[in-house]
Amino acid sequence: MTSKPIYLDYAATTPADERVIAKMQSCLSLEGDFGNPASATHEFGLKAKALVGEAREQVARLIQVEPRCLLWTSGATEANNLAIQGVAKYYQQKGKHIVTSQSEHNSVLDTCRFLEGQGFEVSYLKPNADGRIDLKTLDAALRTDTILVSIMHVNNETGIIQDIEAIGKITREREIFFHVDAVQSLGKLPINLKTLAVDLMSFSAHKIYGPKGIGALYIGNWPRVRLQPLMYGGGQERALRPGTLPTHQIVGMGEACHMAAEVMSDEISRIQKLRKQLWQGIQGLAGVSLNGHPEYRTAGILNVCFNQRDRKTLLAQLSTLALSTASACNVGTEEPSHILKAMGLSDEAANCSIRFSIGRYTTEQEIEQAIQIIQGAYQ
């Protein structure tokens, strides 16, 4: 029997935690809480509605917002689409200019490209070589007809953290809405939306040991953000996101957030130690360099350029490690990462870069084994 590769791809997705799975299972069968949360006439529906409410509170607590500001979606791709298209369509009389960055996730970039086809204008800011967005560049890109800025919190390929506090101050002063894709920071960095001038924030459960297919959008109400929905139907979620609420998915996301709040600070320091262990073990190898800023980064992601190594040979040599060259979201492409290219890496350097992402179940032994496998590829 061949053993499974060592999983170092937690930024692509995480396994669901056992506690999450148990909670989800309790919402599926006849014996469980399977009711439709919108069935207000009987106990089954009322119980499911209460569970959805509890989960909304669990997510809200992790980011310090009122539960009613959260809307369930099918994931962050939908949350990003709803935030960006929703603002664009609702406020188009006010202006048709949007600012984002070249290093966003495709669910933001492709939504912006779609809107360009609908008569909107989009400025795509180039990050610095270290992956950070320059605040002066951002400020200079804003215009009187700018209605939205969309900048992610933590980059999914490099782990680089953007200064969303400072960006929010700039956008709030200019009365421009600010959307943040926080998929890679939820549960991994403290987020306090009470103190951040962020109007919209997108989340996904499957990066924090919850299930795939569920996410949420935070919609601020001071100043109030109005959105045009993407879909029309039964009026659920304030008619902004109609459709029967999937109780099992929702309680799974709630439980994942509840757990994240409990373990976050210990987990950050443990994972950070593992990342440092990995980097120490490989940084001395010929032609190896770190992609992105050395400090403004999340604990679990290490993006390394193995300069002048052939991508295919390197990946074959590292086949006992489950990792990723670009993000899993650039499905089926052999194209060099648009994120690394935006930071100024050549096609060749981007192509021989690898993302290692570490998570809750990664052990010191696994990191040590990974180091040996990588070192072995140099012999």
Q: Of residues 58, 81, 85, 107, which one binds ligand PMP by CB under 6 A?
A: 107
- Give the integer Cα–Cα distance in Å for 177 and 171: 7
> Interface with ligand PMP includes 292 (CB under 6 A)?
no
Minimum CB distance to ligand PMP smaller for 109 or for 282: 109
Window of 127-135, 178-186, 234-242, 312-320 that interacts with ligand PMP by CB under 6 A:
178-186
> Distance of CA 271 to CAs 268, 288, 309, 361, Å?
5, 22, 28, 10
Q: Of residues 9, 33, 181, 267, which one binds ligand PMP by CB under 6 A?
A: 181
- Give the integer Cα–Cα distance in Å for 64 and 191: 8
> Interface with ligand PMP includes 183 (CB under 6 A)?
yes
What's the closest the beta carbon of residue 378 comes to ligand PMP, in angstroms? Answer: 30
Name the residue among 105, 97, 114 with its Cα closest to residue 80: 105
What's the closest the beta carbon of residue 204 comes to ligand PMP, in angstroms? Answer: 3
Q: Which residue has the tokens 């800011």?
A: 125
Name the residue among 4, 1, 14, 2 with its Cα closest to residue 321: 4
Q: Which residue has the tokens 């939820």?
A: 186
User: Beta strand pairing status for 215-219 and 70-73?
Assistant: antiparallel
The amino acid occupying position 275 is R
Q: Helix, strand, or coil here: 267?
A: helix
> Interface with ligand PMP includes 111 (CB under 6 A)?
no
> Are 205 and 212 within 8 A, CB to CB?
yes
What's the closest the beta carbon of residue 200 comes to ligand PMP, in angstroms? Answer: 13
Q: Which residues contact 2 (CB under 8 A, 6 or more apart)?
A: none
Minimum CB distance to ligand PMP smaller for 214 or for 321: 214
> Interface with ligand PMP includes 156 (CB under 6 A)?
yes
Name the residue among 174, 166, 99 with its Cα closest to residue 135: 166
The amino acid occupying position 164 is I
> Interface with ligand PMP includes 249 (CB under 6 A)?
no
Residues involved in catalysis: 329
Q: In this structure, what token pair is assigned to residue 199?
A: 């109007």
Minimum CB distance to ligand PMP smaller for 317 or for 325: 325
Q: Of residues 77, 123, 298, 303, which one binds ligand PMP by CB under 6 A?
A: 77
> Interface with ligand PMP includes 325 (CB under 6 A)?
no
> Interface with ligand PMP includes 329 (CB under 6 A)?
yes
> Interface with ligand PMP includes 83 (CB under 6 A)?
no
What's the closest the beta carbon of residue 184 comes to ligand PMP, in angstroms? Answer: 5
What's the closest the beta carbon of residue 217 comes to ligand PMP, in angstroms? Answer: 11
Residues that bind ligand PMP (CB under 6 A): 75-77, 105, 107, 152, 156, 181, 183-184, 204, 215, 327, 329
